[in-house]
A = this chain, B = another copy of it.
Amino acid sequence: MDNINHDDDYLLQKAAMFFSVLGDTGRIKIIKILSEEEMCVSDLAEAIEASQSAVSHQLSILKQNDIVKYRREGKNIIYSLDDDHVQDIFKIGLEHVKHK
């Protein structure tokens, strides 16, 4: 079977979306940091050397795609990776490019 059916098509589209979310320098840096420790927005901004607004927009995209979760703690909002699965994929991707 060469062709791609509609069920496949839907899943592939979701997969492409998922990978494209990982495929941004700013977002992958955020994921890298959150794979080590949870962190609030302003600290993330400082860590990856980006503006608060840029980070917030990126986090919004990561949220929409179930890659990060968050909780409020006083004035801060603490972000962390949504599940270990994301971290696994991130690490595998990193290993892949390391050996290329």
Q: A residues near B, CB below 8 A?
A: 2-4, 8-9, 11-25, 27-29, 32-33, 37, 39, 43, 46-48, 66, 85-86, 88-90, 92-94, 96-98, 100
**A2: contacting residue among B9, B43, B97, B100, CB under 8 A:** B43
**A8: contacting residue among B32, B46, B88, CB under 8 A:** B32
A98 near B24: Cβ-Cβ < 8 Å? no
Residues on the B chain within 8 Å of A39, using CB: 2
Residues on the B chain within 8 Å of A3, using CB: 47
A16 near B28: Cβ-Cβ < 8 Å? yes
- With A2-B47, A4-B29, A92-B92 as given contacts, are A19 and B19 in contact (CB-CB < 8 Å)? yes
